[in-house]
Structure 1
Amino acid sequence: MEPVPTHDNSTPDGRVECWSARIRGRVQGVGYRDACVQAARAVGVTGWVRNRKDGWVEVQLQGSVDQLLAMRCWLGDGPPLAEVRNIAWQPAEAEMTPAAAFERRPTA
């Protein structure tokens, strides 16, 4: 996947969608977050990923519907050592100050 040259991740009418997901399975200790950062940056979405103490990985994504659908596919597979068993999706409120890029956050 080639990196998108710009972070303008709005839809043609200027809308930016925001989705939140919690991923369960063998997703901690297998490079899931770092691979997620790389995939998100390649697709051009903004937002963040972090481990949760309860064993889930949490992701917030902002971008066009096409970008978010591409990430939805990637999150279901993850990196080679991951085993995704469950993804809980929900619409999310966009952060007051949209992220300039996609970042890895500390465990919550």
Structure 2
Amino acid sequence: MILVVKWRIAMASTRVEIIMMIYRHLRIHGRVQGVYFRGWTIETAGEMGLAGWVRNRRDGTVEALVAGDPVAVAAFVAMCRHGPPAARVDRIDETDVPAEPLSAFTGRPTE
């Protein structure tokens, strides 16, 4: 879990705002390629205000890195367990990972 601390100074007082973010790596197994899983993931993560990326893997899985508020990330992973209508998700392997610079949720080339 990564804690990002932002300092804001206003006139005579100091205010500390703590924002908690987590970074989670996902490997999604099942019928997840050729069913609009990547596109659905980009749309869903964008609507939820998450950052990260998604790509197909040559072994037939989908890989993603998602970053954001812990509650939003957990909700996103829960939604990925179903995916778009044509998908069948058998399992998701999840790993917490160190922070990396991310700005939006994007698609990456197959690897």
Structure scoring higher RCO (CA < 8 A, sep ≥ 6) equals 1
1:77 is matched with 82
Runs ≥4 in structure 1, deviation > 3 angstroms? none
Cα offsets for 1:32-85 (capped at 9, x unmatched) = 000000000011100000000011100100001111011011110100000000
Inter-partner Cα distance in structure 2 for 1:22 and 1:79 = 16
Identical aligned pairs, as a percentage?
38
How far did 1:13 drift? 2.5
Higher-strand-fraction structure? 2
Gaps of 5+ in 2: 5-16
Q: State whether structure 2 residue 66 is matched by structure 1 residue 46.
A: no
Structure with greater Cα Rg: 2
- Aligned with residue 105 of structure 1, among 102, 105, 108: 108
Pairs aligned (count): 97
How far did 1:15 drift? 2.3
Contact 1:43 1:70 in 2 (8 A): no
